Structure 1
Amino acid sequence: MTRSPYDAIAEGYAALNATSLLNEYYNRPALAELAGDVAGRRVLDVGCGSGPILADLLERGAIVTGIDSSAGMLEQARARLGDAVDLRVADLAEPLPFEDDTFDDVVASQVLHYLKDWAPCLAELHRVLKPGGRLIVSEEHPSAIFFSDRLSGGDREYFGVHRRTEEWELGGRTTELTFWDRPLHAMTDAFAEAGFRIATISEPAPAPAAFERFPELRKHASGRFLAFLLFVLVAE
C-alpha cells in the first residue's frame, strides 16, 4: 500500500477536526443523530481518521472497528481510543479484510470523494454488511462545491465527475489531496446499482452549540447553510 498524503498532516488534521465548525459542530453531530441507538451493534468506520466518530459510537455502546489508508491518522486514533479498539490500515479501493455479513452498520464520513469510481467500494461495503444493515454516508454537498467554484471565478459545470486537487498546510506540514466531485444523481445512481435502498437524505443544520462557539452563524436567519449531504442506506 502506498503512503497516504494524510500521513504528513495527521497530527495537524486531528487537531483541526477537534475544534472546527464543520467537523466538531456539524458533521459529527449529524452523523450521531442519524445513527441513533447503536448499543450492541457492530459498526465499521471506513476512513476513520483520528477516531472522533469511533469515540462517539463507543460512547453510545457500539462494538467498533476502524479502517483508514493513513497509518499516521490511525496513530492519532490509537492515542485517542487506546489499544482495545480494532484499527487497521486498509484502502477502500481494494477488497476489505472482513468476512461477508460482518457488520450491522458502516459509517463512511467524508471518504467516498477520494474515489473516482464508487462501484467497487460500495460493492465491498454491501458485502460486509448484514442483510438489512445500514450504510451511513456523509459527503460534501455537491451544490456547495458548485457554487464555491462559481464564486471563485470557475466555470465547471455541475454535472459529471470532476477531479479537484488542493494543497493543505497543517501543523507546519504540507500535502496535496485529490477529490472527485459528483452531482447528487451520480451518488444516488451508484447507491442503487450497489444494492442499497435510500432510507434518508439529510441536509442538516449545525448543532445548537455551534452558535455559541461561532456567533457569526447567527447572520444566517435559519441557522442553516450548505456544507454536507448525508444518507442512510439499507443493504438489500
Structure 2
Amino acid sequence: MKADHYDSFAAQYARTNETGLFNAYYARPAMLALAGDVDGRRVLDAGCGNGPLMEALRARGATVSGFDSSAAMLELARQRLGEDVDLRVADLSAPLPYADAAFDDVVCSLVLHYLHDWAAPLAELRRVLEPGGRLLLAVNHPRILEASDPQADYFAVTQYSDEYTFDDGEAWTLTFWHRPLHAMTDAFTAAGFRVAVISEPPFSPDTPRELLPPDLGDRTAFICFIFFLLQAE
C-alpha cells in the first residue's frame, strides 16, 4: 500500500483502531502476550502507525523506536508518544535507517500482508536484530482469502481487496497479498529466522460483546490474524 493512501485517512484509521475489535481487542493484546517481558529491551516497531503498540511496550519497560511509511500516521504517533521518541519515515521495501544489530526485538503488526515481496523486508528486519533477537509478526490469516474469494487458489500468492469501514461510517478499500502458510514459513527460514511460535489466539476476554460477530456463539476465537514469534539465527 502506498504511504499517501494511508495519509488520506490516517486520523480515521487511528481513531477506529483505538476501540475496534481487530486491533484493540485482538492484535495488540496478542502481540503483547507474545512479547512477554520486554523490560530493558530495545524494541523496534516496524510499521508503527499512530503508536499504540509502541506506547504499550514502553509502559512495560522497553526502549522503543518506530517507523512508518505514512508521515501523517507518524505525526499522530508523535502526539501520542512525545517528541523525544525515535520515530522515522521509512519503508519496509527499502533499506532501513538503522545500524546492524541495533535491536533486541522487532514487532511488525499487520504490515507484511500489504507487500508482495517478503524477501527484502525480512532480510532488513533480520539485519537490524541482534543474533538471537526476536521478530514478532501479525499478518492476515491465510484462510481470510476464502471469505474474500471462495474460488481463489489457496496455494497461490494472490492479491485481493477488502472494504474497511471506519467508526464514522466512511469506507475505504484496502489491498493485501495472500500467502499460504508454507510460503510464509519458507520466507522466514530463507531470511535466517527460526519459527519458535505460531499462534491463533483467542480475542481478549475484555472484549465488549457487542463488538463480536453475532454468530460467534460461545466460541472464544475467530479466523482473523495469525501470529509468529521468530528467532534470528
Q: Return the TM-score normalized by structure 2.
A: 0.92
Counterpart residue number, 2:29: 29
Inter-partner Cα distance in structure 2 for 1:64 and 1:215: 32
**Residues 36/147 of structure 1: CA separation in 2 closer, same or farther (3 Å cut):** same
**Residues 215/99 of structure 1: CA separation in 2 closer, same or farther (3 Å cut):** closer
2:147 equivalent to 1:148: yes
- How many angstroms does 1:79 deviate by? 1.3
Counterpart residue number, 1:70: 70
Inter-partner Cα distance in structure 2 for 1:167 and 1:201: 27
- How many angstroms does 1:65 deviate by? 0.5
Q: Which runs of 5+ in 1 are unaligned?
A: none
- 2:102 touches 2:129 (CA, 8 Å); kept in 1? yes
Counterpart residue number, 1:163: 159
Identity %: 54
Count of residue pairs the alignment pairs up:
231
- SS, match of residue 4 in structure 1: helix
- How many angstroms does 1:4 deviate by? 2.5
- How many angstroms does 1:114 deviate by? 1.3
- How many angstroms does 1:179 deviate by? 1.4
Deviations 1:130-182 (A, max 9, x none): 00000000011111x133124xxx41111111112345564687755331111
Counterpart residue number, 1:205: 202
> Once superposed, what is the RMSD of the aligned Cα atoms?
2.0
- 1:28 touches 1:53 (CA, 8 Å); kept in 2? yes
**Residues 112/3 of structure 1: CA separation in 2 closer, same or farther (3 Å cut):** closer
Counterpart residue number, 1:100: 100
- Residue type of the partner of 1:208? P
- Residue type of the partner of 2:146? F
Inter-partner Cα distance in structure 1 for 2:88 and 2:64: 12
- 1:217 touches 1:223 (CA, 8 Å); kept in 2? no
Inter-partner Cα distance in structure 2 for 1:56 and 1:208: 18
- How many angstroms does 1:222 deviate by? 2.9
4-13 or 211-220, larger mean C-alpha shift:
211-220
**Residues 214/127 of structure 1: CA separation in 2 closer, same or farther (3 Å cut):** same
Inter-partner Cα distance in structure 2 for 1:130 and 1:29: 25
Counterparts in 2 of 1:212-231, with a 5 A limit?
Answer: 212=209, 214=211, 219-231=216-228
- SS, match of residue 48 in structure 1: coil
- 1:9 touches 1:173 (CA, 8 Å); kept in 2? no
Q: Which runs of 5+ in 2 are unaligned?
A: none
- 1:8 touches 1:174 (CA, 8 Å); kept in 2? no
Counterpart residue number, 1:196: 193
- How many angstroms does 1:3 deviate by? 4.6
**Residues 216/156 of structure 1: CA separation in 2 closer, same or farther (3 Å cut):** closer
- 2:146 touches 2:152 (CA, 8 Å); kept in 1? no
- 1:5 touches 1:176 (CA, 8 Å); kept in 2? no
Counterpart residue number, 1:15: 15
Counterpart residue number, 1:178: 175
Q: Return the TM-score normalized by structure 1.
A: 0.91
